[in-house]
Amino acid sequence: MQIILISSRLAKARSVTLSLHHVLGSLAAGVAVVVGLTGALYWLSLRFAADLKIPLVHRLVLAVQQGESERSREFMQQNLNAMAVRIGEMQAQLTRLDALGERLSTMAGLRPQDFRFSETPGLGGAQSSSLPPQNLTLTQFNEKLSMLSRQMESRTDMLGILEAQLFEQAVKKKAMPTMMPVNAQYNASTFGMRIDPFSGQQTMHEGIDFITDAGTPVVAAAGGVVQFAGFHPQYGYMVDIDHGNDLVTRYAHLSKVLVKEGEVLQRGRRIADSGSTGRSTGPHLHFEVRFRGAAQNPAKFLLATNPPTPLARAKTR
């Protein structure tokens, strides 16, 4: 494009040649100026909308503010809903921890007042003078909430393992013959070598003879299954209880048997009455503990939970 300029001030006409680049540059500059002026006018309108009191501009400003406020409210509500879900999960975990803690304290033999799981522990302390207090940001709050949730899950798993171990120990303890089979303060003959009362020879006594009156209740020293209940030529009326793990207890010279073979017994269940049947010189209870058929010293089991009597201490030294 060529433009010819003619003026009275000019001695001769001048011509200006415009290329495509000049035209495009001019258009771009014009568009930039229009956009800039429009943006400036929009900013000034929003900035001084309250002073100008233009109804149209005022409504436009209110619409923009309401839109931003609605987006902010929706964002905050979404975060609150997410945190409410996390807090609900943590409350459920805390309820399980409280129940688990109460069971563990009961299994461990602790007093309920020693651990108040349903109460919030007391906290306190003076305000720090070295570091000023700081408000938590939303990101920091979510991080601490996630860390607390992971810690609660970890504590629940560890307490669950501890509960299983305590339960296993409790079961083993109930299966160990540590309960006195009869209410007797003294025993007439302990485990070990002795002079046989019938032959006068030195023989091995494979149990403990407790001095009792005829008809004294005899109880199971531990939970188990009745392996034998009947008459034996030497033991007289006798009861054998299998406690598992190859451990068997024997109660002999009974006057009356109150259980049957195959019956499941709990620890402390009355199984018979003492007497003097079989190879016996008088009323007493003969008590044996056998492991894989071999006789064991019953005192090692009974003394685990029962203090030794004066005569028992004298005979076990």
- Reported as a single tens digit per residue, the pLDDT across 160-190 is 777 777 766 666 667 788 889 999 876 778 8
3 state SS of 10: coil
The span from the CA of 178 to the CA of 155, in Å, is 34
Percent of the chain at pLDDT above 70? Answer: 73
Structure tokens that stand for 7 in this block? 């003026």
Q: In a 3-state reduction of DSSP, which class is residue 239? A: strand
- Indicate the average pLDDT of the chain: 79
Q: Tokens representing 41? A: 């006018």
Closest CA to 89 of 137, 139, 140, 146: 146
Ranges 25-34, 60-69, 149-158, 290-299, most confident: 290-299
Report which of 258, 225, 253, 259 is spatially closest to residue 237, judged by C-alpha positions.
253
- pLDDT-based confidence at 227, cuts 50/70/90? very high
Pairwise CA distance, residues 113 & 265, whole Å: 34
Where residue 123 falls (left for φ over 0; alpha for ψ -120 to 50; beta otherwise) is beta
Predicted local confidence at residue 313, as pLDDT: 42
Angle (nearest 5°) at CA 240 between 229 and 213: 80
What letter would DSSP give residue 132? -
**In whole angstroms, what is the distance from residue 205 CA to residue 171 CA?**
30
Kindly list the distances between the CA atom of residue 217 and the CA atoms of 23, 182, 256, 285, in Å, as whole numbers in the listed order. Answer: 121, 7, 10, 10
Regarding predicted confidence, which is higher, 67 or 277? Answer: 277
Distances (CA, A) of 285 to 1, 41, 58, 271: 133, 111, 105, 13
In this model, does residue 113 exceed pLDDT 70? Answer: no
70 vs 113 pLDDT, higher one: 70
Specify the pLDDT at position 306.
Answer: 55
pLDDT of residue 37: 85
More confident residue, 179 or 64: 179
Is residue 26 helix, strand or coil? helix
**In the predicted structure, residue 276 carries a pLDDT above the cut 90:** yes
d(CA 176, CA 15): 121
**For position 315, what pLDDT does the model report?**
42
Kindly state the average pLDDT of the residues 224-253. 94
Residue 59 pLDDT more than 50?
yes
pLDDT value of residue 196: 86
Mean pLDDT of 15-20: 67
